[in-house]
Amino acid sequence: MVQDVALVYVLSGSLIVSQRVSEGRDAGQEVHMFSAHQGEIVGGLAVLTGEPSFYTIRAKHASRIALLSKSTFFAVMRDQPTVVLHVAHTVVRRLSPFVRQVRICNKETLIKKKNF
């Protein structure tokens, strides 16, 4: 069964977003990626790309959320096109530290390889 993606809006409380490590010595462990608090969204990348989310989302404590399906989000976007800028900004802001980390790890790997 294919599950449609949705945008998660935090009405109250907070969510913990994590990802399972798939390789290396930490394989199988959950790594905290970020937290989302009241007024923030989760799932923007999945909604914008249509691809399933690779995150696990859990409530940190009692929380209320609203789910906007991809089709509902696209309907809102047709009415208010600038809403996509907010979602894209949130995605980029959250991904940016991870992209920098990957670049640093790649540079360290290259340096180690050059030293051998």
List pLDDT tens digits, range 10-48. Answer: 999 999 999 887 777 777 788 888 899 999 999 998 898
**Structural fold of domain 6-115:** Jelly Rolls (2.60.120)
In sequence order, what E strands does the chain have? 6-12, 14-20, 30-37, 41-42, 56-59, 64-69
At 101, the pLDDT band (50, 70, 90 cuts) reads low
Residue 84, helix vs strand vs coil:
helix
What pLDDT, on a 0 to 100 scale, did the predictor assign at position 22?
75
Q: Is the pLDDT of residue 103 over 70?
A: no
What pLDDT, on a 0 to 100 scale, did the predictor assign at position 77?
92
At 110, the pLDDT band (50, 70, 90 cuts) reads very low
Cross-sheet strand order for the sheet of 56-59: 30-37, 14-20, 56-59
What pLDDT, on a 0 to 100 scale, did the predictor assign at position 58?
94
